[in-house]
Structure 1
Amino acid sequence: MIDHPFFRQALPVIARLEEAGFEAFFVGGAVRDLFLGRPVHDVDIATSAVPAEVKAVFRNTVDVGIDHGTILVLHDGIGFEVTTFRTESEYTDFRRPDEVRFVRSLYEDLKRRDFTMNAMAMNKNGEWIDPFGGKEDIQTRKIRTVGRAGERFSEDALRMMRAARFVSQLSFRLDDDTKEAMTEHAPLLGHIAVERKLNEMDKLFSGYDKRQAVAVLIETGLYQFLPGLDGQKPALTRLAGLPIEGLTADQVWTAAAYLCAEEDPVPFLTQWRLPQKRIKSISRSVRTLIQFLAKGVTDWQLFQGGLQSSVDAAAAGYALTGGKELDAGSAASRFESLPIKSRHDLAITGNDLIQWASKSRGPWIKEVLERTERAVIARDVPNERTEIERWLHACNLL
């Protein structure tokens, strides 16, 4: 019996398919993670029923990927992806199959998958179907392809990045044939869309064993075919040697952008086609990091960086410097203790300055506001309107 809530919720779907005369099994990452004891957030079902037959069995369905055999079955308000057993033809573009063919054989379906740990299935009674030794590879923490590694990577070159990503997420290691094939077929990554590479890199940077995963990118030469990383072996080697295990993905991006493009991180990040909001955020973190490394973590630098950028810069800086003077926790605590967190918190505005000085608008307003911010941050004057006006007069700034 399967003792897991997500699998139990899906059992009626499998039972209905079997009652209609079809085979149905749990497959994919959920089966792997159940065996590993990792959190399972959703389950996938594979069946011998073709899409039209799946739709005939269930009243409520959605065609989420019918061309590739996937139907979303809605049962008790929960959606379950049900995909027909299939095989795939040639991958002439190294990204997607030229043709998908539906079959009635679970073995044929599992044979087309990437790694042995992802090519296992489980029936409704909790019995495992493991024709390619996935359980043994999981027990030995090995990443091994189903069949010949070169063929799997020629079908979809992104699988090489997935292998590196699993090193980070699962703390597994590549088997020798898989690693050799990745080294040989690394140039095929040039056929892969940047957006797909970014998705894998984000997952790699979010795992725990990211140092070893970055080392895999270097050892196999995959890095040469990733945006902005060709020629960056020294920077990546340094990144792989840093204590980055506890950093978030954006904090690792901050460290990577600093190492690969310290002067201006924007072009580097743009090559990865990150959303503009993330480019702006990470670039700000890199600039804050540069200030931290040059001048130390001052209250003024924290104020200019803002909370998130200061925390990310401090975390990246902690890794880069071996913990000297930089710490994300203390940066957050110090930021929260600042008298003001942004210019919007300042008790005066440019209109107040115009009124007090009886002068027209001009660049002087920005200069005086910044002087005032610095004074408030330094606790030289309270953030109170009357006190600031008195201080401005005393300093001959009006």
Structure 2
Amino acid sequence: GKKHGTIVVVYKKENYEITTFRTEGTYSDRRRPDQVNFVRNLREDTLRRDFTINALALDRLGRVYDYHGGEQDLQAGIIRAVGTALERFDEDALRMMRALRFASQLGFEIESQTFEAIGQLAPNLSYVSIERIRIELSKLMQGDYLGTSYKALTESGLCAYLLSMEQVDALSVWQQVYETLAAQIAAGIARDERLVWWALVKALGLDSAQARAFLRDWKHSNPFIKDVSDLLDLDQAFAAGPLDAWQLYQMPAHVLAIYETYAYHQAWLSQPHQLTQAKAQLPLASRSDLAINGQKVMEALGLSRGNAGLGRLLLELERQVVMGDLANDPAGLLAQAQELGADYLES
């Protein structure tokens, strides 16, 4: 923000950040500089950058300023820390994750001294907030060159500091995650972030409740957590045998769409849109499509408002229609409601 020498200028509905040249002091918390000093020298400003390929500058005439060999590293496909790698990573431990993320996205090789510094300072990742790690980890696992990054993740030992769970074999978990995601890459599937985290909770052997708690710890949003949990439930149901109509009905269409793309390329499905098409052909899209509602059932059965069993009765009628055991017409539904009433409604 402004106190750090940055302002945002809006030009033709686009936002542009304008930042003064600056240097940074010590990083006592290994996350943020203790002080920022404004300077007028570009070279001094670039000394605080993480990697040489990020320390390039371009002026308004198109001239490139490269004080650290960034252009050469860019052409050679090398990720190299600016100056001393140990100092850069000690300043902000998240830079270690950024190195691996760039390797995954760009297919670049991490320079040897930079890689050695990651191995030495891997425990410092504990100083970084889980939200910042999560963002980098998600981008890393969605990269087209995940194999390069996975090798660095395991060989540096950094993978052991991403999971703070007891009795977890980090290498085994990340190997399973890598194999799942590598299959997606090989099939040319766009890596949806929800599939990425589904692969992780699956490798950890978590059930739905455990997965939701795990994802909350990683500060994911509630809609994201629900989608990943649904993917886990769907995968487990699919592994147990063909999905029935009720299972398809209960699963959100967008979750089915995410999963079926992966399942098709694994040869688990014969058609690419098999699940979503089957869901679209069900007699109901939602309960609102049911030919009767709670009010009509109450009137037909003479129920008082607030009968606790009414919701369960409607759910059973809904299930029978979806499964094809009952036609979706008012007369038949009300007749079935009367027949089932004693089992579901409070007297």
Aligned match of 2:232 in 281, 286, 293?
286
Tell me which residue corresponds to 1:109. 45
Q: What whole-Å deviation, never above 9, does each CA across 1:212-270 have from its counterpart, x for those lacking one?
A: 43443333222222255673331221110121332201121122112224222122112
Tell me which residue corresponds to 1:20. none
The two structures have a TM-score, normalised by structure 2, of 0.84
Correspondence 1:304-343 to 2 at 5 A = 304-315=250-261, 322-325=266-269, 329-343=273-287
- Mapped pair 1:352 → 2:321: no
- Mapped pair 1:389 → 2:334: yes
Correspondence 1:19-34 to 2 at 5 A = none
Aligned match of 2:214 in 268, 280, 295?
268
Q: What whole-Å deviation, never above 9, does each CA across 1:161-217 have from its counterpart, x for those lacking one?
A: 111221222232322222221111110010011111122223224433345434433
Structure 2 contact 93–124 (Cα < 8 Å) conserved? yes
Q: What whole-Å deviation, never above 9, does each CA across 1:101-152 have from its counterpart, x for those lacking one?
A: 1122111111211111111111222222222222222222222211221111
1:342–1:153 Cα change, 3 Å: same
Query: SS in structure 1 opposite 2:278?
Result: helix
Tell me which residue corresponds to 1:85. 21
For structure 1, list consecutive stretches of 5 or more residues without a partner in the other structure: 1-64
Paired residue type of 1:386: A
1:146–1:323 Cα change, 3 Å: farther
Tell me which residue corresponds to 1:207. 143
When structure 1 is superposed on structure 2, of 222-231 and 235-244 the one drifting more is: 222-231
1:71–1:377 Cα change, 3 Å: same
Tell me which residue corresponds to 2:184. 244
- Mapped partners of 1:209, 1:329: distance in 2: 27
1:295–1:192 Cα change, 3 Å: same
Tell me which residue corresponds to 1:197. 133
Structure 1 contact 95–155 (Cα < 8 Å) conserved? yes
- Mapped partners of 1:343, 1:128: distance in 2: 62
- Mapped partners of 2:244, 2:164: distance in 1: 32
Paired residue type of 1:346: L
CA-CA distance at 1:387 after TM superposition: 4.2
Paired residue type of 1:373: E
- Mapped partners of 1:298, 1:143: distance in 2: 50
- Identical pairs, percent: 34
- Mapped partners of 2:310, 2:49: distance in 1: 64
- Mapped partners of 1:160, 1:261: distance in 2: 27
Number of corresponding residues? 330
1:286–1:137 Cα change, 3 Å: same
Query: Alignment RMSD, CA only?
Result: 2.7
Tell me which residue corresponds to 2:345. none
- Mapped pair 1:233 → 2:171: yes
Aligned match of 2:103 in 137, 157, 167?
167
Correspondence 1:39-50 to 2 at 5 A = none
- Mapped partners of 2:163, 2:215: distance in 1: 9
Structure 1 contact 154–185 (Cα < 8 Å) conserved? yes
1:284–1:86 Cα change, 3 Å: same
Paired residue type of 2:297: L
The two structures have a TM-score, normalised by structure 1, of 0.74
- Mapped partners of 1:272, 1:316: distance in 2: 24
- Mapped partners of 1:107, 1:147: distance in 2: 12
CA-CA distance at 1:327 after TM superposition: 7.4
Q: What whole-Å deviation, never above 9, does each CA across 1:326-377 have from its counterpart, x for those lacking one?
A: 8773323332332222223322223333333445665643443333223322
For structure 2, list consecutive stretches of 5 or more residues without a partner in the other structure: 342-347
Tell me which residue corresponds to 2:116. 180
Query: SS in structure 2 opposite 1:87?
Result: strand
Structure 1 contact 85–106 (Cα < 8 Å) conserved? yes
- Mapped partners of 1:346, 1:138: distance in 2: 61
Paired residue type of 1:280: K
Paired residue type of 2:257: V
Paired residue type of 2:157: G
Structure 2 contact 138–196 (Cα < 8 Å) conserved? no
1:302–1:215 Cα change, 3 Å: farther
1:313–1:211 Cα change, 3 Å: farther
Query: SS in structure 2 opposite 1:79?
Result: strand
Structure 1 contact 115–146 (Cα < 8 Å) conserved? yes
Tell me which residue corresponds to 1:221. 157
